Structure 1
Amino acid sequence: MRTYAPSKHPHSDAPDTASAFRRMAALPDGPERDQVRQEVICAWLPMADRLAGRFRNRGENIEDLKQVAALGLVKAVDGYDPARGNAFESYAVPTVVGEVKRHFRDHMWTLHVPRRVQDLRNRVRFARQDLSQTIPGRAPTNAEIGEHTGMTEEEVRAGLDALDSFTALSLDAELPGSDDGYALRDTLGTADPALDVVVDREAVKPGLSRLPEREQHILYLRFFRDMTQSSIARSLGISQMHVSRLISRCCDNLREQVMQDAA
């Protein structure tokens, strides 16, 4: 495989492949052109690796980032036209970087966030970094971020919200400052069974208000004071059997009324 000497460029990973590109452009599709294309890609791989390294420590494996950058390099080699007169590196760098950024946008977000909001997030993040150097001792306000970036406060709020959407926190993750295993799932509420009781009480209220006073009192003693039928019978001077029949009749009537209202 042919090797290419570095060009006169501040980056040592920028080989001189201008003649190879001209040759590749003149060759028809076939094994010879494929061989030159492969040599050019291999010559520029160190540059792709360097660009991938800019995105290390952002939650993605560096080897995976290098693979994505290599894919961007292949697209750059295939799309470059030496007849335009521009240096390949000036075309390849934004292509490779764009491919890596697209990878983060499409595959690394735990929650789906529109691209517009992702862009707002990046602008807010960089603005906070810049302002933190000029505003010591406190975080910049939304208004200050907006003034720095030219964004509206609504856009700033959207960007700030997106800062916490890149990764999700596990429900089993211990909360900061917790030393007893207290996790996020321990803060989550559950359905309150008393809510069903509230619905039932509200449903029977109209029917209860229409009952005779004595039946209302008996139901109150039985279901709110938790008195037995025998105790209710003694307090009212009637038989326990009579109390039982009254309670059954009232409950049947209330149930029928609630079902009719629901229908």
Structure 2
Amino acid sequence: MSVSHAPRALAGTTPSARDERSRRTAELFDAVTSAQDPARRQDLLDEVVLVNLCVARSLARRFAGRGVDAEDLEQVASEALVKAAGRFDPAHGKDFLSFAVPTVRGELQRYFRDVGWVVRPTRRVQEARWAISRAEAELTQRLGHTPEPDEVMDELALTPEEYAEAASANGCFAPTSLDRPTSVSDDGGTIGDLLPDQEAGLPACEARVVLAPVVQMLSERDRRVLFLRYFEDLGQKEIGSAIGVTQTQVSRILDRILGDLHQAITHDDHEQVSSTDDEREMDG
């Protein structure tokens, strides 16, 4: 059956509208019980769905904004309502919605569990996250304020580790957009601006792979000079003070080291590079 449109008069939320919906639903199920013709029975069940469709849509809207398309949610809720109408037995004495609402809510939760995760945690974490979400809503109504983590853990008998693991699943439905500003100022960058370019680190990585075995062949003092110059960003005068030589000598040391590294790399020669602290750079 098509459940795309419900009568506007039945979509209200006033007590009179709810009472009218409940009364009409009860009448329809009375007719379903006495109907002998299968086609007539199906028509009556279809009308039950139409009368209560606004309730299913309302449940679907509670799950909106979590990374799943709103139309898909409404479709899942509508199909769940159809199933509930087909399975409901008035002889049990329940109001239809007391049976249908948990059915619709359960279908929505299963839909999220199966397709709604962008990053999929384990089933145990998913179920704990759902339990926490329900408990937070119930405690908020009961306590009159947003519950603290300790209150939620007490309600569900969760350990701090279990709560933290489930809470870590927050955002798995709809991760924060990379276009989200990092600050409220108009000139602030976005979260995406903070991420390195995919190609940005490749030259440095390649250089480290190539240089690592060669640099290991340098003397301890030469490695220290390279560290002070290219990692600590010290000037030649500061390096000279640190190792006890003049600025001019530091310049010669750096030239020699870089020349030796270049020769070792270009000639694929990883033999011992000059590693003595002799006075080659002291001469002249």
**What TM-score range do you get, normalising by the shorter chain?**
0.5 to 0.7
Equivalent residue for 2:190?
183
Match runs of 1:31-110 below 5 Å: 32-56=37-61, 58-59=64-65, 64-81=72-89, 85-87=92-94, 89=96, 90-110=98-118
| SS class of match (2:20) | coil
Distance 1:220 1:35, change over 3 A: farther
> For residues 62-93 of structure 1, what are the alpha-carbon distances to aligned partners after superposition, in whole Å with 9 as ceiling and x for unaligned?
655443222112212333456x6344614333
Distance 1:111 1:205, change over 3 A: closer
Matched, 1:149 2:159: no
| SS class of match (1:163) | coil
* Equivalent residue letter for 2:208: V
Unmatched 5+ stretches in structure 2: 1-17, 220-251, 273-284
Moved beyond 6 Å, runs of 4+ = 131-136
Q: Distance in 2 between matches of 1:88 and 1:128?
A: 27
Q: Distance in 2 between matches of 1:126 and 1:91?
A: 18
| SS class of match (1:21) | helix
Equivalent residue for 2:32?
21
Do 1:48 and 1:96's aligned partners in 2 also have CA atoms closer than 8 Å? no
Do 2:213 and 2:270's aligned partners in 1 also have CA atoms closer than 8 Å? no
Q: Which has the larger radius of gyration?
A: 1
> For residues 216-247 of structure 1, what are the alpha-carbon distances to aligned partners after superposition, in whole Å with 9 as ceiling and x for unaligned?
xxx965464569xxxxxxxxxxxxxxxxxxx8
Q: Distance in 2 between matches of 1:153 and 1:67?
A: 37
Q: Distance in 1 between matches of 2:213 and 2:193?
A: 34
Equivalent residue for 1:195?
205
Q: Distance in 1 between matches of 2:213 and 2:258?
A: 20
Q: Distance in 1 between matches of 2:50 and 2:142?
A: 36
> For residues 76-112 of structure 1, what are the alpha-carbon distances to aligned partners after superposition, in whole Å with 9 as ceiling and x for unaligned?
2333456x63446143332222223333333433332
TM value normalised by structure 1: 0.61
Distance 1:126 1:92, change over 3 A: closer
TM value normalised by structure 2: 0.58
* Alignment length (residue pairs): 213
Note the C-alpha offset of 1:166. Answer: 2.1
Q: Percent identity?
A: 28
Distance 1:73 1:201, change over 3 A: same
Do 1:52 and 1:62's aligned partners in 2 also have CA atoms closer than 8 Å? no
Matched, 1:119 2:134: no
Unmatched 5+ stretches in structure 1: 1-9, 210-218, 228-246, 258-263
Q: Distance in 2 between matches of 1:254 and 1:193?
A: 21
Matched, 1:254 2:265: no
Q: Distance in 2 between matches of 1:165 and 1:131?
A: 23
Q: Distance in 1 between matches of 2:34 and 2:142?
A: 51
Do 2:129 and 2:169's aligned partners in 1 also have CA atoms closer than 8 Å? yes
Q: Distance in 1 between matches of 2:82 and 2:174?
A: 30
| SS class of match (2:169) | helix
